[in-house]
Structure 1
């Protein structure tokens, strides 16, 4: 599941589905949307995907193109691998086909905040339980507010606890090698510049503008993955 999905109801039944099960993409139904899919962990499949990525790349520059290339028989082999739209409903569809949402919306199990409209970009008033300002339809507002409500109920308390523990740890450490104000300012400026660059790249990805021949090339992504896995061991 993508990080921009929100589970509304229990979906344990998906574990009974076969590989590769997914929801048809709203833009091109002969392809599946990789925001949610069912697969079986397999070293052989992993190696096959890596080999295909290195040899052919991805036709859309992202994971969805690569996965659809690898599981190319998804649309024709077995209709049982086609999941219902309720497992990957996008906000765009609630607007473009509102009658269907009114008829089937109560059955939705997973919401996918596809595109540039992400809940964490919206301003939310926790005391009122509502968004401060929002340009969109009522259904979109409702789902984004549900995301925020779940975040404040289940996630925010854990973040506050971690911040409290981190603050107490920092207070308990007496660091004799504390950097000078000038070096600190330089470090902060460098970090801010890097953060801006990362944000710009992220926005480009959300709009489908990946630089997969440059900064977002397979080699660079593989290098980042190797470094992250190495640090975690």
Structure 2
């Protein structure tokens, strides 16, 4: 039996992400098949585009947690439908799969993930004793699918989405088998580059998969005439990854959309793409961006530049200078 990368899209907007994801996997030379699960929310034109990029496009019925209370805590009412992700266990034509959210991007070859066993996933940046369900290794099984569905109906999800459900179902992940803990580099959430810049500066070059979590997705980002992404200050460190996403989209996905009815059907959603001037990039995975200049504001919001003026050696130097001035007085 064969192995496959699997993703899910429930509407035309996320389909843009899925198409770019497929492009990135082919770019890094994967030898596995590409599968996209789709629901009725995906239009016919977009469906045709997906069939050009993926080896298999599989229609599935939507599932929804209908858990407004927990979804409100996340401020993400759209995540209830991510329960549909559970359908991936029904793909029994494959012996092993790696699930990828449609808002991730492969930066380098990572087929070695298929050497991992179920259920392997990377720690979540927000709560490391939980895994992030944007990337995980699994073995399709109707028995597992039935058990997860039963568990969902009886227990539900502590966050209203698939991540809370799967963390509860695979509850021994934090402590039972460390070999099922994927390195963070296989699912680096974009926000981590802001919250722990020193680690990103050191390990960023090893990142294999980047995950654009949150409500602002790459396909919703605007670029100015100089090719600079119009993003908030907390996202500046993801600039190179966003630019790579847009390079792949502009070169291979956008022309396909423009030729198909998908672009016409979703013109309102993608009208900014038609006037987008794609920035120029190198073809290789982007290196970590240079650390920003440290400022008082960085300290006040808890994000000083630990590689620059806030480095340990510089702090010691400042202390020594201060003590020397006091001694001289």
TM-score interval, smaller chain: 0.5 to 0.7
**Is 1:147 the counterpart of 2:236 in the alignment?**
no
Question: Which residue does 1:54 correspond to in 2?
Answer: 153
Within 5 A, what are the aligned runs for 1:89-100?
89-100=188-199
CA distance in 2, matches of 1:99, 1:56: 39
Aligned equivalent of 1:159: 257
Correspondence 1:1-233 to 2 at 5 A: 1-124=100-223, 129-131=227-229, 133-136=230-233, 137-163=235-261
Deviation at 1:124, TM superposition (A): 2.8
TM-fit CA distance, 1:83? 0.4
Task: State how far apart, in whole Å, the 1-side matches of 2:228 and 2:125 are.
Answer: 29
Q: Shift in Å at residue 134 of structure 1? A: 2.5
Residue 116 (structure 1) shift:
2.3
Q: TM-score when scaled to structure 1?
A: 0.66
CA distance in 1, matches of 2:215, 2:258: 27
Q: Distance in 2 between matches of 1:135 and 1:75?
A: 33
> Is the Cα–Cα contact under 8 Å of residues 124 and 148 in structure 1 kept in the other structure?
no
* Structure 2 spans left out of the alignment, 5+ residues: 1-99, 270-329
Match of 2:47 in 1: none
How big is the shift at 1:160? 2.0
2 CA distance for matches of 1:156 and 1:129?
17
CA distance in 1, matches of 2:236, 2:162: 31
For the 8 Å contact 1:129–1:149, the answer to whether it is kept is no
CA deviations over 1:127-177 (Å, ceiling 9, x no partner): 75443x33225422222121111111221122122249x98xxxxxxxxxx
Aligned to 2:273: none
Between the aligned partners of 1:154 and 1:86, the Cα distance in structure 2 is: 26
Unmatched segments (≥5 aa) in structure 1: 168-191, 196-233
- The CA distance in 2 between the partners of 1:111 and 1:130, in whole Å, is 19
Cα shift at 1:103: 0.5
Task: Please give the root-mean-square deviation of Cα atoms over the aligned residues, in Å.
Answer: 2.2
Task: Output the TM-score relative to the length of structure 2.
Answer: 0.47
* Deviations, residues 5-46 of structure 1 (Å, cap 9, x unaligned): 111111100011000000011121111110100000010010
Give a deviation string over 1:73-116, Cα, whole Å, max 9, x none: 11111100000010111111111111111111001111111112
Q: Secondary structure at the match of 1:6?
A: strand
1:6–1:111 contact (8 Å) kept in structure 2: yes
Distance 2:236 2:173 in 1: 34
Number of aligned residues: 166
Query: What SS does structure 1 have at the residue aligned with 2:171?
Result: coil
